[in-house]
Structure 1
Amino acid sequence: MGSLTEANLRALAGARSYERALGYLDAVSGVEVGDGWVTASVHGTERYEVELTLDGPGGLAGTCDCPYGLEGNFCKHLVALGLSMLAQRESLPRQRKAARERAQDLDRWLSALSKDELLALLREQIDEDRQVRRRLELRAASVRGDLATLRSGIRDLFDVSSFAQYGYVEYADARAYADQAGQAVSSIRALTGSGRAADAITLAREAMRLLAEAVESVDDSDGRLGRIGAGLAAAHLDACRAARPEPEELARWLAGHALGDLDDGLTDIDPLDYEDVLGEEGMAALRKLAVEAWRGNRRGWAQKYLMERLAKAGGDVDALIAVHAADLAPNGHTHLVIARELDTAQRPGEALRWAERGIRDTQDLAAVDTALVDHLCDRYTQADRLTDALTVRRDHFRARRTLLTYQQLRAAAQAADCWPAEREAALALLRADAERRQQGWYGGPVLIDALLDDKDADAAWQAATHTGAHDRQWVTLADQVRADRPADALGVYLRLAEPLLKQTGNTVYEELVALLLSIRDCHRRLGTPDEFTAYVTALRTAQKRKRNLMRLMNEHGL
């Protein structure tokens, strides 16, 4: 039990999940302690099944079938079970010992039974448990090579009718359905293991089709059917490696699956995983099919993706570029993708031309992929083409006047040793924007942010006074001028504090206290501490019902 500690639970789950788990301690039920593991049910939005592994290779671990847990996270339900076990830590070693002894007793008893006694016991379980009977029937059919029985059994496994109400399997029943459908994977694997890999290929493909049909009628919010799909894909690949099907036929099936005729989005089959099965002949057929499909629909996502995968795998850069070039995005993103591929292929001249073309082809530079602009400017800078980099940054700034594009223009102009002139032209544009958008500009004029970023507080103050500014900008302005102009800063802080006095909430209180600290500093610089004392006293009297605010002010000595 050494790995089961509060510290380890918090480390695995994170502070948020750990704290939320404290409200679920009474929701833990049905605890079963084994030798090295603990299982239970935890009632949250639904009832979830959780299992803690106490002595795994990596220490404490766990699984839960809640949506968050199914993504591989150590969830609050696992923490709740762990904390419940810690509450009875003194008895846990005894419970684990008892579980170990029970397992040993069971094993000794089973080992002592005769063949007839074991068969009688197994038949009893088969009569009582439909799932056990179905699994064993399919296993027997796999060993016999009874394809008809297997096909019928797998069809039954994917049948939703016994779980569906009004033709649809709701979330509460989806797990039971997935548990049933998942038996198809083990049956197909068993068929391969018994030397019938060719039949396993056939049944795996049929099962994929049945799964694709079933998913339309199942609430698969937890992704269980996706895991079944992945299992079927793995079983299909294993069967193909064992049976070595005809390469061209396999290539046709893989192409059809990848191009959407058969792809259900659940199996995630990658044709390149079959390269060792396909061989040169099959890969050539697959490439031919991919090219034909792409030529028939150059903008189809599936066609493009398959062509890209095959071109990359074959190291065919020109084919890869042709795929991208056939469907160029209007914002230059595809040009950037091509440029990066050419850079990787050590073809920098072509890469640069594609990046330049991306800028030229973009009709609206305000909407251009900014990563393309950065890429091109980086290449110009590396080649000591500073004027060209500046031109691109200037054009981009003029089309998209933000603080970031201003900062990038400044960096390029400073590198080219011409920032003063560029700055005047850029600020003139921002001033014009501020004049036009004086009313209701969300976030405030970019002009103010640019001047503040230039550390030109006086110009920023003057511009804010003339055009107006966002409260966020006024706080930054006041902070920058407070040392030299405390009276001006004080006026800003007092104005911004006033509306907060009418609001509630811890976030509001934190913002208000920050302003009060700034107000106190202004009075200190002005030599008027008594005025601040009177202000705070009046504020406390008016706001005394806001206990969290009073506590926060006390913490800061206000």
Structure 2
Amino acid sequence: MGGLTEAKLRAVAGERSFERGLGYVGAVSGIEVGDGWIRASVRGTERYEVELLPGGRGRPAGTCDCPYGQDGNFCKHLVALGLAVMDQEAELSRGRESARDRARGLDAWLSGLSREDLLALVREETAEDRQLRRRLELRAASARGDLAGIRSRMRELLDIGPFARYGYVEYADARAYADQAGQAVSAIKGLTGSGRAADGVALAREAIELLAGLVESVDDSDGWLGRLGGDLADAHHDACLGARTDPEELAHWLVTHVLDDAAGLTDIDPLDYEDLLGERGMAALHRYAVDAWQVNRTGWAEKDLMQRLAKSRRDIDTVIAVHTADLAPNGHTHLLIARELDAAGRTAEALEWAERGMRETEDLAAVDTALVDHLADRYTQAARLADAVALRRGHFAARRTLLTYQRLRAAALAAAWWPAEREKALTLLRADAEGTGSHGGRVLVDVLLDDEDVDAAWQAAGECGAHDGQWLTLADQSRSTRPADALNVYLRLAACLTRETGNHAYEQLVSLLLSIRDCHHHLGTPDDFAAYLTDLRATQKRKRNLIQLMERHGL
């Protein structure tokens, strides 16, 4: 196709997709050339259908049904098709002319048939092609205003039966089913386009309900049903626009829909219908939403609808009322309210809600950490450093972890109280280590390492226990100051790894060997390391990858 170049393909696809497309040129098959378009199949993870628009003097564009292409990207399969077309330019030009000749010949032949012969031909083709028959039956029903007939054909198109094995449409058949069901959507759009928008509204709603009931019976890993649901939503909106649907009736349907399981299929947002609802319809929408929420104040869908409607009207008090009706026991909802009030500039009320969340959380060990962070930040901003430290101290006392210790340390350092707070915190952790065993001891080791108090961490690890990662950290931080202690750790960990196989284990072992060599250097015992290494080589000689890795590191 004139104007298509590697430079244009590289520019529109990007370097990564272009380079990957080079390897797929041989996977292109079934190239068809039309007026301004090129179609083909490209074999990737599966066979993908690709349409390239060369663009003449402009930038090439196109579509591909691979996951990356479906997101609107110019993928490697489009690149491969473009490169294949460039390689076959002369042959494709002849093919294009041949295709045009065949099309003209077909048109001429069909035009010369009598009415009876043409009908016989159509009957013959529809007898052999069920999909063609259904499409024509749908058009016929639409042309004669046969709503019952259209509904019947639509139900057939949405039926999973022909594609389902044991009542379930598997991944390999999902696209074919979606393509068939898409004909029903086209029929609904056709009704609206032909001036029968009210029928389009009714059938769109019926199709949404039918399709929602089938979602669990289709493997929709590639999102075919999701796209179909979006198309149905568009068809419904356009039909409502054409039919000038009664605002109150539309509002009622929208609220019912978004609270139903079908909402996840279409992702319809009632606010997208604001132009159709008008003032009366929006008032009804709000009224129906309130009624539904009052029946189920803890329902996620009901709360979400209420909050979105309230935010659209900047009604912060209603947003807070919805949150207040279903407060989480860990303070998370209090945090949401505080953030909403902060955004609205009502900072004093926001602070009250955050503090209330801390008070009303029965178990501080389970409190939402984000609430603690939020409130501590507000105290710090207001120069209430003592309150920030007290908050962090209480949280650490309830949930003794490295993170809560770090947060307490930051607050206490800002208030110049850290030495006294640290001693209190370490006292709690030592009591934990004595009372709860290894878990408490490991937290103690973590915080001492985080404080860079390595000697105290060694002592705590020896008295209370530590996991291998902590021992390794201790050894790495002490090779030069405590080489004998570090060496014992490395030797123990290395002994465990000698019983394992695989390159990952070999890399870990060689890293330990280098550390062991460093310890012997600090101890002045290089001969001991040489003897250890000789023995290790003898016992591990069958592990060729390990021996080669050791040699690359001079071991």
TM-score range, shorter chain: 0.7 to 0.9
**Structure 2: which amino acid aligns with 1:63?**
C
- When residues 280 and 532 of structure 1 are mapped into structure 2, their CA distance, relative to the original with a 3 A threshold, is same
- When residues 497 and 131 of structure 1 are mapped into structure 2, their CA distance, relative to the original with a 3 A threshold, is same
Cα deviations across residues 248-282 of structure 1 (Å, max 9, x unaligned)?
1111111111222x735311211111000000000
Once the two structures are TM-superposed, the CA of residue 110 in structure 1 deviates from its matched residue by 5.8
Cα deviations across residues 118-155 of structure 1 (Å, max 9, x unaligned)?
99498375554332332233234435543232222112
Cα deviations across residues 83-123 of structure 1 (Å, max 9, x unaligned)?
7997x899444554455444544555467667455994983
Kindly report which structure 2 residues correspond to 1:119-158, keeping only aligned pairs within 5 A, or say none.
120=118, 123=122, 126=126, 128-158=128-158
Give 1:11's aligned residue.
16
2-structure distance, mates of 1:13, 1:346: 50
Q: Is the 8 A contact 1:4 1:60 kept in 2?
A: no
Give 1:476's aligned residue.
473
Q: Give SS of 1:266's match.
A: helix
2-structure distance, mates of 1:198, 1:13: 48
Give 2:169's aligned residue.
169
Give 1:243's aligned residue.
243
**Structure 2: which amino acid aligns with 1:537?**
T
2-structure distance, mates of 1:456, 1:118: 98
Once the two structures are TM-superposed, the CA of residue 8 in structure 1 deviates from its matched residue by 6.8
**Structure 2: which amino acid aligns with 1:183?**
Q
Provide structure 1 residue ranges, at least 5 long, that are not aligned to the other structure. Answer: none
2-structure distance, mates of 1:406, 1:267: 47
- When residues 452 and 71 of structure 1 are mapped into structure 2, their CA distance, relative to the original with a 3 A threshold, is farther
**Structure 2: which amino acid aligns with 1:504?**
T
- When residues 485 and 190 of structure 1 are mapped into structure 2, their CA distance, relative to the original with a 3 A threshold, is same
Q: Give SS of 1:40's match.
A: strand
State the TM-score, normalized to the length of structure 2. 0.87
State the TM-score, normalized to the length of structure 1. 0.87
Q: Is the 8 A contact 1:9 1:79 kept in 2?
A: no
Q: Is the 8 A contact 2:174 2:218 kept in 1?
A: yes
Give 2:543's aligned residue.
546
2-structure distance, mates of 1:165, 1:90: 43
Give 2:528's aligned residue.
531
1-structure distance, mates of 2:392, 2:215: 50
Q: Is the 8 A contact 1:189 1:200 kept in 2?
A: yes
Q: Give SS of 2:249's match.
A: helix
Q: Is the 8 A contact 2:13 2:79 kept in 1?
A: no
Q: Is the 8 A contact 2:17 2:79 kept in 1?
A: no
Residue 390 (structure 1) aligned with residue 395 (structure 2):
no
Q: Is the 8 A contact 1:247 1:279 kept in 2?
A: yes
Name which of 517, 520, 533 aligns with 1:520: 517
Give 2:267's aligned residue.
268
Once the two structures are TM-superposed, the CA of residue 404 in structure 1 deviates from its matched residue by 0.8
Q: Is the 8 A contact 1:142 1:191 kept in 2?
A: yes
- When residues 360 and 272 of structure 1 are mapped into structure 2, their CA distance, relative to the original with a 3 A threshold, is same
2-structure distance, mates of 1:542, 1:82: 54
Once the two structures are TM-superposed, the CA of residue 421 in structure 1 deviates from its matched residue by 0.1
Give 1:189's aligned residue.
189
Once the two structures are TM-superposed, the CA of residue 177 in structure 1 deviates from its matched residue by 2.2
Q: Is the 8 A contact 2:293 2:303 kept in 1?
A: yes
Give 1:39's aligned residue.
40
2-structure distance, mates of 1:277, 1:551: 74
Q: Is the 8 A contact 2:494 2:509 kept in 1?
A: yes
Kindly report which structure 2 residues correspond to 1:338-357, keeping only aligned pairs within 5 A, or say none.
338-357=337-356
Q: Give SS of 2:213's match.
A: helix
Give 1:204's aligned residue.
204
362-371 vs 534-543, which moves further: 534-543
Q: Give SS of 2:155's match.
A: helix
2-structure distance, mates of 1:34, 1:282: 50
- When residues 89 and 289 of structure 1 are mapped into structure 2, their CA distance, relative to the original with a 3 A threshold, is closer
Give 2:426's aligned residue.
427
Q: Give SS of 2:264's match.
A: coil
- When residues 452 and 169 of structure 1 are mapped into structure 2, their CA distance, relative to the original with a 3 A threshold, is closer
Q: Give SS of 1:363's match.
A: coil
Q: Is the 8 A contact 1:4 1:54 kept in 2?
A: no
- When residues 378 and 92 of structure 1 are mapped into structure 2, their CA distance, relative to the original with a 3 A threshold, is farther
Q: Give SS of 2:48's match.
A: strand
2-structure distance, mates of 1:354, 1:13: 54
Q: Is the 8 A contact 2:28 2:81 kept in 1?
A: no
Q: Is the 8 A contact 1:38 1:53 kept in 2?
A: yes
1-structure distance, mates of 2:499, 2:380: 53
2-structure distance, mates of 1:541, 1:85: 58
Kindly report which structure 2 residues correspond to 1:321-470, keeping only aligned pairs within 5 A, or say none.
321-439=320-438, 441=439, 445-470=442-467
**Structure 1: which amino acid aligns with 2:505?**
V
Q: Is the 8 A contact 1:433 1:445 kept in 2?
A: no
- When residues 517 and 79 of structure 1 are mapped into structure 2, their CA distance, relative to the original with a 3 A threshold, is farther
Q: Give SS of 1:182's match.
A: helix
Residue 63 (structure 1) aligned with residue 64 (structure 2):
yes
Provide structure 2 residue ranges, at least 5 long, that are not aligned to the other structure. Answer: none
**Structure 1: which amino acid aligns with 2:282?**
M
- When residues 33 and 438 of structure 1 are mapped into structure 2, their CA distance, relative to the original with a 3 A threshold, is farther
531-540 vs 264-273, which moves further: 531-540
**Structure 2: which amino acid aligns with 1:130?**
R
2-structure distance, mates of 1:421, 1:437: 24
Cα deviations across residues 161-213 of structure 1 (Å, max 9, x unaligned)?
33334444344433322221111111111111112211111111111122123
Once the two structures are TM-superposed, the CA of residue 220 in structure 1 deviates from its matched residue by 3.4
Give 2:282's aligned residue.
283
1-structure distance, mates of 2:186, 2:176: 17
Cα deviations across residues 370-404 of structure 1 (Å, max 9, x unaligned)?
11111111111111111111111111111111111
Cα deviations across residues 413-462 of structure 1 (Å, max 9, x unaligned)?
000110000000001111112223334x49x6111111111111111111
**Structure 1: which amino acid aligns with 2:520?**
H
- When residues 85 and 246 of structure 1 are mapped into structure 2, their CA distance, relative to the original with a 3 A threshold, is closer
Identical aligned pairs, as a percentage? 59
Q: Is the 8 A contact 1:448 1:469 kept in 2?
A: yes
Give 1:230's aligned residue.
230
- When residues 406 and 58 of structure 1 are mapped into structure 2, their CA distance, relative to the original with a 3 A threshold, is farther
Q: Is the 8 A contact 1:191 1:200 kept in 2?
A: yes
Give 1:496's aligned residue.
493
2-structure distance, mates of 1:289, 1:281: 12
2-structure distance, mates of 1:53, 1:330: 56
Count residues in correspondence.
541
**Structure 2: which amino acid aligns with 1:488?**
D
- When residues 384 and 210 of structure 1 are mapped into structure 2, their CA distance, relative to the original with a 3 A threshold, is same
- When residues 131 and 349 of structure 1 are mapped into structure 2, their CA distance, relative to the original with a 3 A threshold, is same
Q: Is the 8 A contact 1:70 1:222 kept in 2?
A: no
Cα deviations across residues 463-495 of structure 1 (Å, max 9, x unaligned)?
112212111111111111112222222221112
Kindly report which structure 2 residues correspond to 1:43-122, keeping only aligned pairs within 5 A, or say none.
48-51=47-50, 53=52, 55=54, 63-64=64-65, 72=71, 91-94=87-90, 96-106=92-102, 108-109=104-105, 115-116=111-112, 120=118
1-structure distance, mates of 2:360, 2:403: 23
2-structure distance, mates of 1:243, 1:469: 72
- When residues 547 and 53 of structure 1 are mapped into structure 2, their CA distance, relative to the original with a 3 A threshold, is farther
